[in-house]
Structure 1
Amino acid sequence: MSESNTKITEEDVRHVAKLSRLRLSDDEIHHFTDQLESVLGYISKLNELDVEGVEPMAHAMDMSNVLREDAEKAGIPTADALRNAPAQDDGFFEVPKVLGEGSGA
């Protein structure tokens, strides 16, 4: 693909489309070329910013996880869990088979 500071060409877009196995019309190629050029223009503007001394962050706001103790507690009784089940078998949910012979599962 094109080096930075080089204009995105329709040939670049055709190459990426081929790698992605996408069939694009000439109109789509032209449209995506313009869009990608615009995106790279914005990125180029961001590269002009002085970020010296700016600490990398994952989120714009100061956030931290609130964790609780992992404590064991009683679960829902089996009868309650199965109460609205459309089908059950010997204390378990019964579901239709979704994978057949030769499915690779």
Structure 2
Amino acid sequence: MKERPNERIDSSTVNTEDMGINAIASSQHDWVERMGWHNKTALEALALIGSEVGEAVNECRGEAPSAEFGSELEDIVLRVADLAKSEGVNLAEEIRSKMAINEKRGTRGRLV
């Protein structure tokens, strides 16, 4: 069993403002690895992403999203970033590619 350090990342020392999505993915992946928390399979990671989506849904049950909604979105993004890094997915390239495809799709029957 991998030893888990008792350290926690001080988020005030991590400047994500200038980090691209791949750098964020690498940073998150490295931290999860140091903590010994990596999932055994991609399916397990996806299930946990789904649970985070459920938590975000719970934060939207009122008239407007709660103050915790942003934190739940952050959890989703960080889990997706970690999974992408674990599976060798270049998120920046995949996002650029998908956005280019979406630009060519038009409205797909939706009223504008």
Structure number with greater Rg is 1
Structure with the higher helix share, 1 or 2: 2
For the aligned pair, the TM-score class normalised by the smaller chain equals: under 0.3
Q: TM-score, normalised by structure 1?
A: 0.27
Q: Which has the bigger relative contact order, CA under 8 A and spacing at least 6? A: 2
Q: TM-score, normalised by structure 2?
A: 0.25
